[in-house]
A and B are shown apart, each in its own frame.
Chain A
Amino acid sequence: MPEIRVTPLGAGQDVGRSCILVSIGGKNVMLDCGMHMGFSDDRRFPDFSYITRNGRLTDFLDCVIISHFHLDHCGALPYFSEMVGYDGPIYMTQPTQAICPILLEDYRKIAVDKKGEANFFTSQMIKDCMKKVVAVHLHQTVQVDDELEIKAYYAGHVLGAAMFQIKVGSESVVYTGDYNMTPDRHLGAAWIDKCRPNLLITESTYATTIRDSKRCRERDFLKKVHETVERGGKVLIPVFALGRAQELCILLETFWERMDLKAPIYFSTGLTEKANHYYKLFIPWTNQKIRKTFVQRNMFEFKHIKAFDRAFADSPGPMVRSGLRGPARLGPCLQVVFATPGMLHAGQSLQIFRKWAGSERNMVIMPGYCVQGTVGHKILSGQRKLEMEGRQVLEVKMQVEYMSFSAHADAKGIMQLVGQAEPENVLLVHGEAKKMEFLKQKIEQEFRVSCYMPANGETVTLSTSPSIPVGISLGLLKREMAQGLLPDAKKPRLLHGTLIMKDSNFRLVSSEQALKELGLAEHQLRFTCRVHLHDTRKEQETALRVYSHLKSVLKDHCVQHLPDGSVTVESILIQAAAHSEDPSTKVLLVSWTYQDEELGSYLTSLLKKGLPQAS
């Protein structure tokens, strides 16, 4: 029995690093290759030793598919391809291909900066890894090899995020990656057609939550920023270079425009240019509103958001002297700053935080999740006295706000997607065990399908009943058409023919064509049977009696009495003969073809009962 096997190496009952192995139709595919930002040793990467023990990695694995550019989905990719040694194809969408290296580079710099880590992938490795990437378009079926094909669907979540259908023959699996079923400020909602996969692997981050409107969260965010600016305070928003940063930029830009605010917004490290360049480039991936209006005004051409210069962080007030880049010039006052990295664990954002933390007027807004061991995590958990190097204590007086902009489908959205795709089975990943348990029951009840939630390292095996595609010959189809029956996709019906299996191909043809193609002679197979009747009359008369009897019984069939005295019913032939030893007994020789097997058997049993007495 063919089977589909799924083993999460990451994202099995956790929200760490996504990495799921799928075996389907003899093909092995890795879905995402993420990194856990909470660890700084080998544990940050999935344990690939479970694949490498199967011999050469490139021989074992047919392809790697990356759903989107977040590091918990692609962060281990350069490690996997350049250090572990995978040399096969890597598939992702074009925006992911463009943005992925920026984030990887950003993270590499932080890792090296922070810890001086030597055993980390280099810039060159990121580039070499990206050269192995094959970009896929939405809804384009990509043939990985003769048997394996993949297709991308829009997933919302972040720019370029995609769900992937993986198909081998008639078996298929859909992997959602992270997705969002409600459109947001710059992206549309996830969508998939009724592809009825054998298995749907879906994320379940918000398995038990019905999320409140994002609009409310956005209003809160804008209100807080505005109030702080109004009272002369500074706002620090630590972000990662891409993704959420752009969403917040659109939000602030629109608000600034509407309220006619003058305070400039700065974005650190000069990454905006490239990021915004990509957002402009991939307009087709954004939502309908942005797509419609971008000709008049591109949403990603920000008027109020400017590149940030290092010296600005020192600015005590408006219009101060700034000594960087060329001749001395006047620099503006910093009030709202986006700075990387997003968890306040190193570099620019941490430096600005240290400078601004002491004033109650200032505010830091954390728009994303922070792992333990970062300053971001500490202040979010309410710690206000942070121990710094050399026994110094940094007192955090600035306001600390958390604002979730995470764009995942909530419980309702997940159910909606399951309903859309109509899978035979569902498998939950990227969520917490307890919440998954709840959703699992809900899915099983509502859709009457099996739902699985393997932990990391656990393998789920699904038996599939394969449907084998068979080609039908034109002749056979024409013959069916001639009978006046037009093909109808909604009404499957039985078709008789001869199945030819040749070169792993299956074809249904008429028996005549089969004989011709295979060069075979036709043989008729007839069943024969002798029925003894007590009848003293002559053979001809017996035959006539048989004819009359059958004519009266088998009204729907063509019963004939042939000149040679034999009787036929369809292909069945009945002849009467005298018994060699007993003249009072006649022998009826009945023969029929295998096509009329049913009628032949019926006739024999009928004749065995004897003929009715002549009236």
Chain B
Amino acid sequence: MDPECSRLLPALCAVLVDPRQPVADDTCLEKLLDWFKTVTEAGPSLLLLQENPCLVELLFRVLKAHDPRPRVLSFSLRLAGLFAAQEDCFQYLQVTPSSSVSQQGELLPMLFGESGPLGGAAWTAPTVRSGWLQGLRSLAQHPGALRFLADCGAVDTIFSLQGDSSLFVASAAGQLLVHILALAMRGPAEGHPSPQGCDWPACAQKIVCHVEDSLRSTATLQVTQALNVLTTTFGHCHSPWTQGLWVRLSPLVACLLEKDPIPASHSLVDLLLSVARSPVGSSDCGLWETLAQTLSHLSPTQAGPLALGILKLQDCPQALKTQAFGVLLQPLACVLKAAAQAPGPPGFPEGATGDSITVDTFLSSKSACVGLLCQALAHLELLQLLPQRPSPWPQAPLLRAAVAILRFCHGSAAPTSDVGGHLCAVLAGCVRVQRAALDFLGTLSQGTGSEEGLPGHTQVAPGLPQGPQLLRPGPPHPAVPRRYPWPLQELLPVLRKRLCSPCWEARDSGLEFLTQVTRHWGGQAAFRHALLASEVPELTGQLLRDPESYVRASAVTATGQLSSWGLYATPTGPEHPEVQQESLFTELLHILSTDSEGFPRRAVMHVFTQWLKDGHADVAEDLEQFVARVLQAASQDLDWEVRAQGLELALVFLEQLLGQPGSRCPYAVALPEAAPPATLAQVLQALCRVQLFEFALRALFDCDRPVAQKSCDLLLFLKAKATPCGGPQEAGASPDVVSVEAALQRWQAGEQGQPLGELEPEAVMAVLRSMDLEGLRGMLAKSSDHMEKSPQSLLQDMLATVGVLGENEADCY
């Protein structure tokens, strides 16, 4: 431990046990424990306790306090657990003489035994119960701890805490049981113990018997607790003993399936899947039968997650997979059946014919129907993306089903059956189902299935993006397929309508959609023709002046993308005569220099960087002029992300002049690591002309760390490229570095306003060589508040708040 921390610790411990001193901040004790955890993990805890007797003193005094504060008590329990994780320290705390004569005794039993907080008034506070469990969790690392747990009767308390009123405590109790079970089975018991458990350690035997009792219980809560413990066990422990455990418990689990209704079905599904994923699964044939049985016993809604889980399993009998897939398809089969004009099979594999149980669920209530459909669609969507999805994949009927659902939602279905009529009534205008169906349709369109079903898809497509309720956040809806071109003559009017929408969300999503579509199809003649004939590019240009900054930013990105494909013409509308003759570059530069919001300015920088990478016509016209103007605007920006992006652009420019950093591709033509001197001199001149040096050097001392970091990287790259070849200074000239160094010092002191003026490349390179950029990079890699976050700072803060807390404590945002 740091000597300064060691020095502060006694005072802090004194504050913690003083009931008159409020504990500073509710995060302080947590952070203190974080620190003790790193300290105890890094070295011997015993030494730590011996060198800092105040810690043991603290534990004693908290125990002896009449009315201990729950938070401090909880902290002490957790702290003691951290120390006792090491066996020698555990022994030490078992019989610890305190430095104070009046305080002696067995510290750990006093903390965790029945004479401790367990029986006191403080136990009513959940934080104390939680601290007790977490303390034991840390402590239970060695055989000595097991004996201790048995002696102090802790396991029985943990059993009772499984049903605690606090979710956090109950969950921690369950996890602690798993941890103790695993610890008990470690060592001598490891191997293949008999399922009967006669050779199991007493502690493990006790826990397993408790789980058995709980599984037999008629109370669902207890069954749930037992199932959760087992799920965690099979999820985390993969030793051979878990096989014995499953052999012993599987009959009890199977018994649950015979009850009606099946208790704790959700937890049961979790357990069965956890076992199936563990090594136990591959060796137990009975498990597949149990899974099949469970699938058929559960209601359609409950069976869905199990079916998906089964289909995700790597090794699983084909028959079970078919059954599981059938379960997932049932709801869609029902929909197809209900939507069918003429009777006939829905076209799904056998087993998915729209059974009566699913129909009953559909008919039972609106929420059940909506819930089941959304779940089925979400599960199938997930499944479609997996490599182990069933084959053949019923692409066509799935497409038909998704379209049928959308028709029901849209109100355009003409059902002939009762179920169809019911679905019509329930799904009409249901946004949730519409969204789920759209998501599913999007995923289906990305699939590798056959192209059949395309007609249905395109028929429904024009109707999709109209209502504002169908707005999808983020990128354009994946229902826009890459493989199936949309009917453009129908799509573009819809897009146009959305770009004119009064909702910013609609305009923004429309622009994001346009960007995405252009990225994919910008080179296709049909698309280019249709787009240029539409008003969409012009509207996009107008949205550069949208009142909403999100929209302006998306418009910048969209025009940038359009322009890259030669699809953007500057707006010539009569209402904006002033920008008639301007190029898009000028317009975007204007946004970069004047927009009051960060989003559009950042978007402009992204577009410019991309243009530079792609060699956009506006850039290629006068590269230096382009870079100079952009860097000048970026360097003055108040938003650090714009400045950082400016450095990104500068780096691209450098790379283009000097070659990629660290390109070591073995198949590439061997390029010189550093640029040849003649080229370098020209490059440096160019960098001076675009004022890249001033920008980068100023950024090196930027108050926003990412900017400084980026600048450091850039200058290091430049230094690496320039140094091996010697440099211009070796030609004999001795550069004047004084003015550069003076400016750097001013910037370092935070005086950003002073300009540097004309720069000599040689002087800059000389300064760069003399600077410890690696050291600076190391410093910047630390968080900007690492000093404030240090343990020393934490201790100082906690001590400093003593006495001054009263006036500020109640305040908050």
Contacts and interface: CB of A to CB of B under 8 A. Distances in A.
A273 to B, nearest CB: 5
A15 B811 CA distance: 9
B642 to A, nearest CB: 11
A124 B474 contact: yes
B134 to A, nearest CB: 13
B371 interface: yes
Interface string B350-363: 00000000000000
A366 to B, nearest CB: 9
A547 B801 CA distance: 97
Given A113-B784, A314-B750, A369-B813, A59 B374 contact: yes
B699 to A, nearest CB: 12
A146 B366 contact: yes
Interface in B667-682: none
A51 to B, nearest CB: 10
A450 interface: no
A274 B596 contact: yes
Interface string A45-59: 001001000111011
A170 interface: no
Contacts of A368: 811, 813
Contact of A55 (B169, B266, B703, B709): B266
Contacts of A116: 705-706, 709, 781, 783
A44 B126 CA distance: 20
Interface stretch (A421-429, A455-463, A470-478, A517-525): A455-463
Interface string A479-504: 00000000000000000000000000
Contacts of B703: 347-348, 350-351
Contacts of A72: 812-813
B374 A314 contact: no
Given A109-B641, A355-B750, A56 B378 contact: yes
Contacts of B805: 381
A270 B800 CA distance: 35
A502 B507 CA distance: 46
Nearest to A211: B810
A36 interface: yes
Interface residues of A, number: 90
Contacts of B597: 274
A382 B800 contact: yes
Nearest to B635: A324
A209 B28 CA distance: 24
B167 A459 contact: yes
A560 interface: no
B559 to A, nearest CB: 18
Nearest to A312: B753
A323 B471 contact: no
B160 interface: no
B787 A369 contact: no
Contacts of A458: 126, 165-167
B789 interface: yes
A131 B505 contact: yes
Given A39-B30, A321-B753, A459-B167, A373 B797 contact: yes
Contacts of B598: 105
Q: Which of A124, A240, A377 has the most CB of B within 10 A?
A: A377
B199 interface: no
A219 interface: no
B600 to A, nearest CB: 12
A112 interface: yes
B96 interface: no
Given A113-B704, A145-B367, A382-B800, A374 B812 contact: no
A269 interface: yes
B35 interface: no
A70 B811 CA distance: 14
Nearest to B709: A116
B167 to A, nearest CB: 4
Contacts of A145: 367
Interface string B722-760: 000000000000000000000000000011111100000
Contact of A389 (B596, B704, B779, B804): B779
Interface centre among A209, A322, A324, A406 (most CB of B within 10 A): A324
Contact of B508 (A127, A321, A377): A127
A55 B298 CA distance: 15
A311 B752 contact: yes
Contacts of B210: none
Given A87-B435, A369-B812, A455-B126, A311 B706 contact: no
Contact of B750 (A14, A15, A88, A354): A354
A88 B810 CA distance: 35
Interface in A350-388: 350-351, 354-355, 368-369, 371-375, 377-378, 380-383, 387-388
B171 interface: yes
Interface residues of B, number: 79
Nearest to A325: B636
In the complex, which of the residues A70, A115, A240, A321 has the most CB atoms of chain B within 10 Å of its own CB atom?
A115
A127 B784 contact: no
A350 B751 CA distance: 15
Contacts of B435: 87
Given A59-B375, A323-B753, A323-B754, A270 B638 contact: yes
Contacts of B367: 145-146
B266 A314 contact: no
Nearest to B439: A87
Given A36-B27, A310-B752, A383-B796, A55 B808 contact: no
B238 interface: no
Which of B755, B794, B813 is packed against the most chain A CB atoms within 10 Å?
Answer: B813
Interface in A14-65: 14-16, 36, 38-40, 43, 47, 50, 54-56, 58-59
B371 A59 contact: yes
A58 B508 contact: no
Nearest to B633: A325
Interface string A97-133: 0000000010001001111100000011001110110
B490 interface: no
Given A55-B305, A128-B473, A372-B24, A209 B599 contact: no
B779 A457 contact: no
Contacts of B751: 314
Contact of B636 (A109, A321, A324): A324
B641 A369 contact: no
B330 to A, nearest CB: 17
Given A114-B705, A350-B703, A345 B473 contact: no
Nearest to A269: B638
A288 interface: no
B31 interface: yes
Contact of A14 (B26, B168, B432, B784): B26
Contacts of B549: 274
A578 B769 CA distance: 136
19 contacts: A56-B378, A116-B709, A116-B783, A129-B473, A131-B471, A132-B473, A145-B367, A205-B812, A273-B596, A345-B785, A369-B811, A375-B788, A377-B25, A378-B788, A380-B808, A382-B804, A383-B800, A387-B793, A456-B168
Given A383-B797, A458-B126, 20 more contacts: A71-B813, A113-B705, A114-B784, A131-B474, A131-B509, A205-B812, A310-B753, A314-B753, A346-B704, A347-B704, A368-B813, A369-B811, A373-B27, A373-B794, A378-B797, A382-B804, A383-B800, A457-B126, A458-B167, A459-B167
The 3 closest A-B pairs by CB, nearest first: A457-B168, A38-B27, A311-B753
Interface of A: 7, 14-16, 36, 38-40, 43, 47, 50, 54-56, 58-59, 70-72, 87-88, 105, 109, 112-116, 123-124, 127-129, 131-132, 145-146, 205-206, 209, 240, 243, 269-270, 273-274, 309-311, 313-314, 321-325, 345-348, 350-351, 354-355, 368-369, 371-375, 377-378, 380-383, 387-390, 402, 404, 406, 433, 455-459
